[in-house]
Structure 1
């Protein structure tokens, strides 16, 4: 970043590297939420690091992600904070333009391009409403996050000489896209909650970036397993894991792109939620 700020390294080189690192930090924060990589909660929280993505409060991410792990409510637009489905009422209220956006978000290209602002705005509005209603926990979390974000912004802008607008557009946006690439196909509608989580058999750089969270069905079964153990456990129990998750398996992110790059993977409306 110092070299980038001085102009010694062109943006075409440093931007993807920094964006990749910001997305990797989000994967590390996910591991910290589940009690890794050390037995010390305070140390794990410290190594989760500053809010490099700017918009993502670790404390709020932790709270919403643990709610997401109630598998009986997976994909439910009211009970699963990470769901991209909407209720029947919201679908009807969206209007033609809103429905087009919702359809677009269910394609991979739409999720990667439009998903970051959609995710940030939706998350911010949800949290702002709770703060407005007087939720003391959220107020405390966002004050803490605001202070930490201000310090990160000062370091980026004044310390590294990278304008915040450039960092937001060229780093935070693609980093968030990488996070959304991982989550795009990891859940589906299914009557059996055990069949809702995917296995994406990636073993290349993306598996490292996501810290093995591509083995998502196994992660939901055993969230206490650290990332570096998941691949070994999966290889030893592959047939059993796939039997338990209803065979929801993808060979890698190339298959995800082939199937859903411009084709919606599902209807945006959740069939079990009228309002």
Structure 2
């Protein structure tokens, strides 16, 4: 429990954790089973649904799967890391092995390093050296990625290119862990694509390019403005009061400061914790509040929200 919580606040959080829902984690179990059943149901019945409806249904389901994987790596629905890894290893989203996502994301939770390029693995900023070493074309892409439309269109491709560069470097250096991770993830991905090719009307290329990449692009909207540079670490993380469809799709991670302060609190308790002390959370964030993703689209659809260059480095 964070040291800056007063006694009453600590008791409120402990009360949430003592509830039957939190002890059994049944909402996360239900969600986990639902995603698996939903994915196989859509794929195996795609001939009846058709390619169009199968695509429309699978894209948000894969986005939801990314959110479910995030819950798993934070210790839900079980306390056993290995079991959560097994539950979350299905490669529905294709590109990111579960363990790679888990390890980099847990590093991201060192709040004192948030947004710092080269230190925070999820930073969307560049150091002065990185910026100066970029071509004009690359700088243009980084500026475009700072708009919501650009983030949606090129955020996923940029992330995948960066992923390929880093992981190829690890593989070339004979990193044993990287080889084991990619071989296991690759084997499961090939098996999944075989199921798609053999038992659905979806072409493999269609799933890879028109389902998994758009799903990653939607997930990129969530992380578009989750963090900002600020001298105070607690004021680097947003509180986004999004509408319920986005809250469900992202499992309430739009209340991102609450999640960073209480990373072990499950997705279904984040709104309770937030609304019980909304004014305190807003004060702690330094007023870093966004009134839903619509506000971001309206204000920054085609206008960069800030500079790609980190102001501190």
TM-score, length-scaled by structure 1: 0.94
Q: Equivalent residue of 2:268, what SS?
A: coil
- Structure 2: stretches of 5+ with no match in the other structure: 1-42
2:51 pairs with 1:14: no
Q: Which residue of structure 1 aligns with residue 271 of structure 2?
A: 231
2:215 pairs with 1:215: no
Q: Distance in 1 between matches of 2:277 and 2:184?
A: 42
Which residue of 158, 163, 167 maps to 1:127?
167
Q: Distance in 1 between matches of 2:209 and 2:73?
A: 27
Q: Which residue of structure 2 aligns with residue 82 of structure 1?
A: 122
- Structure 1: stretches of 5+ with no match in the other structure: none
User: Alpha-carbon deviations, 1:40-98, whole Å to 9, x = none?
Assistant: 43433333251111111100000100111111111111011111111222212222111
Q: Distance in 1 between matches of 2:178 and 2:211?
A: 26
Map 1:227-266 onto structure 2 (within 5 A). Answer: 227-266=267-306
User: Alpha-carbon deviations, 1:100-119, whole Å to 9, x = none?
Assistant: 11100010100111111111
Q: Which residue of structure 1 aligns with residue 210 of structure 2?
A: 170
Q: Which residue of structure 1 aligns with residue 196 of structure 2?
A: 156
In the TM superposition, residue 209 of structure 1 has moved relative to its aligned partner by 0.7
Which residue of 63, 69, 86 maps to 2:109?
69
Map 1:93-112 onto structure 2 (within 5 A). Answer: 93-112=133-152
Please tell me whether the aligned partners of residues 228 and 236 of structure 2 are also in contact (alpha carbons under 8 angstroms). yes
Greater RCO, 1 or 2 (C-alpha within 8 Å, sep 6+): 1
Q: Distance in 1 between matches of 2:167 and 2:69?
A: 19
In the TM superposition, residue 159 of structure 1 has moved relative to its aligned partner by 2.3
In the TM superposition, residue 180 of structure 1 has moved relative to its aligned partner by 0.4
Give the CA RMSD over aligned residues.
1.4
Q: Which residue of structure 2 aligns with residue 204 of structure 1?
A: 244
Please tell me whether the aligned partners of residues 240 and 291 of structure 2 are also in contact (alpha carbons under 8 angstroms). yes
Q: Which residue of structure 2 aligns with residue 33 of structure 1?
A: 73
Q: Distance in 2 between matches of 1:238 and 1:38?
A: 29
User: Alpha-carbon deviations, 1:190-241, whole Å to 9, x = none?
Assistant: 1111000001111411100111111100100110100011110101011111
Q: Distance in 2 between matches of 1:218 and 1:141?
A: 31
Structure having the higher Rg: 2
TM-score, length-scaled by structure 2: 0.83
Range moving further from structure 2, 221-230 or 138-147: 138-147
Q: Which residue of structure 2 aligns with residue 113 of structure 1?
A: 153
Q: Which residue of structure 2 aligns with residue 140 of structure 1?
A: 180
User: Alpha-carbon deviations, 1:166-190, whole Å to 9, x = none?
Assistant: 1122101110011101100110111
